[in-house]
A and B are shown apart, each in its own frame.
Chain A
Amino acid sequence: MSDSQIIVGLEIGTSKVCVVVGEVNDNQVANIIGLGQSKSRGVRKGEIVDVSVVEEDVRNAIVEAEHMADVEIQSVFLGVTGSHMRGFNNTGVHPVVSADREINDADIQDVIKNAKAVNLPSDHSVIHVIRQHFRVDGQDGVLNPEGMLGAKIEVDVHVVSGRYNRLQNPIRLVSGLHLQVENIAFNGLASSLATLSTEQKELGSLVIDLGAGTTEYAIYSGGVIKHTGVLAVGGDHVSNDLAYGLKVPLGRAEQLKVDNGSAVIDPESNDRMMDLSSDNIIPGKKVNLKHLQMIMSMRLREIFELIANDIEQAGLIDYLRAGVVLCGGGARTPHITKLAREVFNLPAAIGRSSTVSGIKNALDEPEFSTSIGLIKFGAFQSQAMPKREGLGRAIRKQFVSLFGGRK
Chain B
Amino acid sequence: MTNSNLMRDHDNSDNPVIRFIGLGETGVKLVETLAMIGLKGVQSHSLDTDNRSLSRCHQSKTLLLGKSIPCGLGAGGDVALARAAVESDRDHILKLVSGADLVFVIAGMGGGTGTEAASFVARLAKETGALVVGVAATPFNCEGSRRCNKAAGGIRDLKQSSDVVFHFSNEEVIQIAGGEISLNNALEIANRHLCESVLGLSRMLIEPGLLNVSFGDLQASMKGRHSLGSTLCVEGVGEDLAADVMKKILSHPAARMGKALSEATTLLVHLSGGENLSLAKINTVIESISLHASANDVIVGASGSGSDNVLQVILVIVQETKSNNFIMDANVSKNLPENEALDLSYPENFMPSGENSYMDLGSDSTGANRVRFAYTPPAPAVETITPEMKDSLLEAAAKQEPNRKKRKEIKQEMLPLEVISKGRFEKSEPTIHKGEDLDQPTYIRRGMMLN
Chain A residues engaging chain B, CB cutoff 8 angstroms = 44-45, 49, 83, 231-233, 236-237, 240-241, 243-245, 250, 288, 291, 294-295, 298-299, 301-302, 306
Q: Is the CB of A45 within 8 A of B443?
A: no
**Quick check: B424 and A250 within 8 Å, CB to CB?**
yes
Top 9 A-B pairs, shortest CB-CB distance: A241-B441, A240-B423, A232-B431, A298-B442, A299-B442, A302-B442, A298-B443, A44-B428, A291-B450
Interface string of B382-425 (1 = CB under 8 A from A): 00000000000000000000000000000000000000111111
Q: CA of A299 to CA of B445 in the docked complex: distance in angstroms?
A: 10
Extra contacts besides A243-B423, A245-B444, A298-B446 (13): CB < 8 Å: A231-B431, A232-B431, A236-B425, A237-B425, A240-B422, A244-B441, A250-B423, A294-B443, A295-B442, A295-B450, A298-B442, A302-B438, A302-B442
Task: Label chain A's interface by main secondary structure.
Answer: helix
Closest to A243 in B: B423
Chain B: minimal CB distance from A116 (Å): 28
Cβ contacts A to B, 23 pairs, < 8 Å: A44-B424, A45-B425, A45-B429, A45-B431, A83-B429, A232-B429, A237-B425, A237-B438, A240-B424, A241-B442, A241-B443, A243-B423, A244-B423, A245-B441, A245-B450, A291-B450, A294-B450, A295-B443, A298-B442, A298-B446, A301-B442, A302-B446, A306-B433
B451–chain A nearest beta-carbon distance, Å: 9
Contact A298 B448 (CB under 8 A): yes
Q: Which residue of A lies closest to B424 (CB)?
A: A240
Residue in B420, B423, B438, B441 whose beta carbon sits within 8 Å of that of A295 in the complex: B441
Contact B428 A237 (CB under 8 A): no
Closest beta carbon of chain B to A147's beta carbon, Å: 47
Question: A49 CA to B428 CA in the complex, in Å?
Answer: 9
Contacts of A236 in B (CB 8 A): 424-425
- The CA-CA distance from A240 to B422 in the complex, in Å, is 8
CA distance A109 to B416 in the complex (A): 57
CB of B127 to closest CB in A, whole Å: 28
Neighbouring A residues of B196 by C-beta, 8 Å: none
Given A83-B429, A233-B431, A240-B422, A294:B448 Cβ within 8 A: yes
Q: Is B235 an interface residue (CB 8 A)?
A: no
Place the interface of chain B in its size category.
10 to 19
Cα-based distance from A232 to B437 in the complex (angstroms): 11
List B residues at the A interface (Cβ < 8 Å): 420-425, 428-429, 431, 433, 438-439, 441-444, 446, 448, 450
Contact A299 B441 (CB under 8 A): yes
Which chain B residues border A44 with CB–CB below 8 Å? 424-425, 428
A245 CA / B429 CA spacing, docked (Å): 22
**Which residues of chain B come closer than 8 Å to A298, judged between CB atoms?**
442-443, 446, 448
Closest beta carbon of chain B to A78's beta carbon, Å:
21
When C-beta atoms are compared, the residue in chain A nearest to B420 turns out to be: A244
Interface contact B443-A237, CB-CB below 8 Å: no
A288's nearest neighbour on chain B, judged by CB, is B450
Q: Which of B420, B422, B442 has most A Cβ within 10 Å?
A: B442
Q: Using A237-B438, A295-B441, A295-B443 as known contacts, say yes or no to A244 and B428 having CB atoms under 8 A apart.
A: no
| B450 neighbours in A (Cβ, 8 Å) | 245, 288, 291, 294-295
Chain A residues, CB < 8 A from B431: 45, 83, 231-233
Residues of B within 8 A of A302 (CB): 438, 442, 446
CB contacts (< 8 Å) of A233 on chain B: these are 431, 438-439
B432 to chain A, nearest CB (A): 10
- Contact, CB under 8 Å: A240 / B425: yes
Min distance, Cβ B312 to any Cβ of chain A, angstroms: 42
Smallest CB gap from A214: residue in B? B431
Please indicate the chain B residues that have their CB under 8 angstroms from the CB of A250 in the complex: 423-424
List the A residue with the shortest CB-CB distance to B422: A240
Q: Name the CB-closest residue of B to A301.
A: B442
* Distance (whole angstroms) from the CB of A333 to the closest CB of chain B: 15
CA distance A237 to B437 in the complex (A): 12
Which of B421, B439, B444, B446 is within 8 Å of A237, CB to CB? B439
Contacts of A306 in B (CB 8 A): 433
B412 → chain A, closest Cβ, in Å? 18
In the complex, what's the smallest C-beta–C-beta distance from B427 to chain A, in angstroms?
A: 9
Residues of B within 8 A of A83 (CB): 429, 431
Distance of A233 Cα from B444 Cα, bound (Å): 16
CA distance in complex: A135, B72 (Å): 85
Beta-carbon nearest neighbor of A305 in chain B: B442
- CB-CB under 8 A from A243, the residues of chain B are 423
Q: How far is the CA of A302 from the CA of B441 in the complex (A)?
A: 10
B414 nearest CB across to chain A (Å): 16
Give the residue name and chain of the B residue nearest to A299 (CB).
B442
* Closest residue of A by beta carbon distance from B426: A240
Residue numbers in B under 8 Å from A232 (CB-CB): 429, 431, 438
Give every chain B residue within 8 A of A288 (Cβ-Cβ).
450
Chain A residues within 8 Å of B420, by CB: 244
CB A159 to nearest CB in B, in angstroms, measures 22
Q: Is the CB of B448 within 8 A of A45?
A: no
- Across the interface, which residues of A come within 8 angstroms of B439, CB to CB? 233, 237, 240
In whole Å, how far is B276's beta carbon from the nearest beta carbon of chain A? 47
- Which chain B residues border A301 with CB–CB below 8 Å? 442
